[in-house]
Structure formats: structure tokens, C-alpha cells
A and B are shown apart, each in its own frame.
Chain A
Amino acid sequence: MTPTFASDLGPLWPYLFIFIAGFLATEMWRWIGVLVGARLDEASPVLGWVRAVATALVAGVIAKMLLAPGGSLATTPAALRVVAAGAGLVAYLVFGRRLFVGVAAAEAVLIAGWLALDP
């Protein structure tokens, strides 16, 4: 059993905890990525695969954020969040591919739905 964040191991312990479980746990993947990427040619099929996996991973992050959010957003129905996000995507594609339009449309649907369900 390794110590927890709350263990009393001196004033620097919380920083060490964040350094190991936060910085090292994330940064090591970036460093491995640099080493792997150094061997990849811009036209190689392997890069195409790596890019597809990276895209699918980010898509997974998006899905998790939409379906299992934290804080007060978790009190809204999942269907409302999915519909609002879909509305944002449609607005983006229909109205000239502008990011602001997409984000604003999704937020408008979310807030309107939220207030309508829980006045």
C-alpha cells in the first residue's frame, strides 16, 4: 500500500504526489509520442493509423464528457446533452462552418431545455 495524498510526509509531499501521479503519469506518454513520431514519415501509412487512433481516442473523450459529466451538468438528462451537442454540430455545418455558431447553438439548446425541464 503506497501512501495517499493526505499522508503526513512533510510539507513537500503534496507537490511530490502531484508530480508523480500528475506530471509524470501524463508527460511520459508525450515523450514516448515524440520518440515514436520521430520515426514516422509524413506520408507513411503507419502515421495514418496513428492519426486514426488518436482521433478515435479524442472522440471517446468527447463522448465521455457528454454522457458522464461532473458538477451540475450531471443533473440534466443525457438525452438533452446529446440533442444539444447534435444541434451545435448541425448549426456549424449548415451556417458556414463557424465554430462560434456551433458552440452558441449547442449552449442555447442546452440552457433552454434545462430551464424548461427545471424551472
Chain B
Amino acid sequence: MSAESAGDAPSHEPAASHRPRGGWFLAGVKAAVGVPGLVLFASTVGFGGFAREAGLPLGLTLLMTGGIWALPSQIVLTGSIAAGSSLAAAFVAVSLSAVRLMPMTAAIMPMLRGPKTSRLRLLVLSHFVAVTAWVLAMTRLQSLPREGRAAWFAGLGLALAAASVAATGLGYWGAGELPPVLSGALVFMTPVYFLVSMSGAARSLTERLALAIGLVLTPLVGLFDTATDLLWGGLVGGTLAFLIGRVVGRAR
């Protein structure tokens, strides 16, 4: 990983190395191998077991991982189904859990698009926006030449998705076989990985503040309303961090 700032400064682009698109795709696949892929694999194993306990058939469970591709939303939907929610109620609950995908996608697009990347290609690529791929992309995209970024992200997203679908199947099949401490440790891996990698990725004051305020504010709002706590924590926390970052930046 380069030490390049992921902050507000415009990126300087390194001299383009003329790798073919397939080469960038493979480089993206490679970026998925290692700790990020392993952690996602472990946490998705947990989801497989959870969906089986909720009574979902295997095929649908696999489709949920590949089609929704956002673990918190998958858990919300599975919970809604288990609770016998209506279609409308499930739709609203899942939508609320997924609003964060909008700013996440919007934030990554200006970095992701190359000079010739079509809108359709970006719409398809946006499916791979989820926390793991997002954090990796936010830290690494700026060190890649523009023309390779979309292919790199496609490789990363597809590799992570393929591993996760396999992990879901494994978890579904092996649910109940794991001792509780081990299955709990697997579930714990996701928030820890997110916390550590986000802290590593946050280099500007604004991003660090956004991380810290979001961590504290969301559970506080959650004491009053667990349906919209994410939204308020994110919107208020992010705005506050942005404003403080602006004021401090100007004072310097």
C-alpha cells in the first residue's frame, strides 16, 4: 500500500504503466487475496449459518450473498423473513440498512472512472460497492493509473463475491457444527477488520473525525431509535467531521 494521502488533495497520478486491461483485472483479483478476503470469507460463513437457522433454502441464501452483496442488509432481510414481515416492511427495513451504499458509491466514482468508462459500466461495477471492497479501493485506487482502475475494481469485486458465495455455502452446510466460541470469533472478525482497515485508510483529519464520531454517535442514537440510528449517526457525524475539518484546515 502506498503512503499516498487518501485525503482531500487532488491525486497525482503515477506514470501510466501500459498494462492490458486483463492485467489490471488480475491485479484486482490479487488484491482480494490475503487478510481482506480471508476476513470476508470468515464473516460470510457466519451468514450462511444464520440464514439456515432462519429457515432459508440454500439456493436463495447463495443468491442473497451474490445479489445483495452487503452483509448488514443480508442480515436485516434474513431477520425480516424469519420474523414474518410483509414484503413492504422488509423492503423498507433493508432500504434503510443500505442507504450508506449511496454516499459510498458516490465517493468512489470520481476515483474509479477513467476517460472512457461508460455510465453503464459504472452502474454494473457499482454492484461491488460494499465495505470490504470500498475500503480497499479508497486506499489503493489513487496509486493506480486511471485507465486500469475500473478493471482492477472489477477483478477485486468479482473475486471477493466468488469467495463469499463459496463461504456462504460452506457456512450453510456446516452450521451447527462449530463450537459457539469459534462461530462467535468468526462473526467478531468483521467489525474488527473494518475498524482496523478504516483506521488505516483514514489519513485526513476529517476522515478520522468521521470515523470516531460515527463510532460513538450511532450507538447513542440507537438508544432511542434502532431503525434510523445509522442514518442519523452517519449524516450528523459525517457533517460534523466535515465542518470541523474545514474550520481547522482554514485556521492552519
A interface, CB within 8 angstroms of B: 1-6, 14-15, 17-34, 36-38, 40-43, 45, 47-73, 75-76, 81, 84-85, 88-89, 92-93, 97, 99-100, 102-103, 106-107, 110-111, 114-115
Chain B residues with CB below 8 A from A55, complex form: 198, 202, 207, 210-211, 214, 238, 241
New A-B pairs, 10, CB < 8 Å, besides A26-B98, A88-B192: A26-B73, A33-B103, A34-B109, A34-B122, A53-B210, A55-B202, A57-B234, A59-B213, A63-B233, A64-B218
Chain B residues with CB below 8 A from A111, complex form: 181, 185
Query: Assuming the A-B contacts A47-B107, A53-B235, are A42 and B192 also in contact, with contact meaning beta carbons closer than 8 angstroms in the complex?
Result: no
The A interface, classified by DSSP as helix, strand, loop or mixed, is helix
Query: Assuming the A-B contacts A63-B219, A106-B188, are A52 and B196 also in contact, with contact meaning beta carbons closer than 8 angstroms in the complex?
Result: no
Contact A34 B119 (CB under 8 A): yes
Chain B residues with CB below 8 A from A70, complex form: 50, 75, 187
B interface, CB within 8 angstroms of A: 8, 10-11, 35-36, 39, 46, 49-50, 57, 60, 63-64, 67-70, 72-75, 77, 80-81, 84-91, 94-95, 98-111, 113, 119, 122-123, 126-127, 129, 131, 134-135, 180-181, 183-185, 187-200, 202, 206-207, 209-219, 222, 226, 229-231, 233-239, 241-242, 245-246
Chain B residues with CB below 8 A from A6, complex form: 84
Contact A25 B95 (CB under 8 A): yes
A15 to B9 CA separation, bound complex (whole angstroms): 45
Query: Most B CB atoms within 10 A — which of A51, A89, A111?
Result: A51
Interface pairs A-B: 8 shortest CB-CB: A33-B105, A37-B109, A59-B214, A53-B238, A57-B234, A60-B218, A56-B214, A56-B237
Contact A59 B98 (CB under 8 A): no
Contact A34 B105 (CB under 8 A): yes
A60, A66, A76: the one contacting B237 at CB < 8 Å is: A60
Chain B residues with CB below 8 A from A29, complex form: 95, 98-102, 105
Contact A49 B73 (CB under 8 A): no
A4, A28, A33, A89: the one contacting B129 at CB < 8 Å is: A33
A14, A43, A51, A73: the one contacting B107 at CB < 8 Å is: A51
Nearest chain B CB to A2's CB is how many angstroms away? 4
Contact A57 B123 (CB under 8 A): no
A113 to B50 CA separation, bound complex (whole angstroms): 24
Contact B196 A72 (CB under 8 A): no
Query: Assuming the A-B contacts A49-B238, A64-B218, are A26 and B106 also in contact, with contact meaning beta carbons closer than 8 angstroms in the complex?
Result: no
Nearest chain A CB to B94's CB is how many angstroms away? 4
Contact A103 B49 (CB under 8 A): no
Contact B73 A22 (CB under 8 A): yes
Chain B residues with CB below 8 A from A42, complex form: 10-11, 110-111
Query: Most B CB atoms within 10 A — which of A31, A53, A99?
Result: A53
A71 to B239 CA separation, bound complex (whole angstroms): 34
Chain A residues with CB below 8 A from B88, complex form: 2
Query: Assuming the A-B contacts A27-B127, A55-B214, A62-B191, are A22 and B77 also in contact, with contact meaning beta carbons closer than 8 angstroms in the complex?
Result: yes
Contact A31 B126 (CB under 8 A): yes
Contact B206 A57 (CB under 8 A): no
A41 to B8 CA separation, bound complex (whole angstroms): 11
Chain B residues with CB below 8 A from A33, complex form: 101-106, 109, 126, 129
Query: Assuming the A-B contacts A57-B230, A85-B192, A103-B192, are A52 and B94 also in contact, with contact meaning beta carbons closer than 8 angstroms in the complex?
Result: no
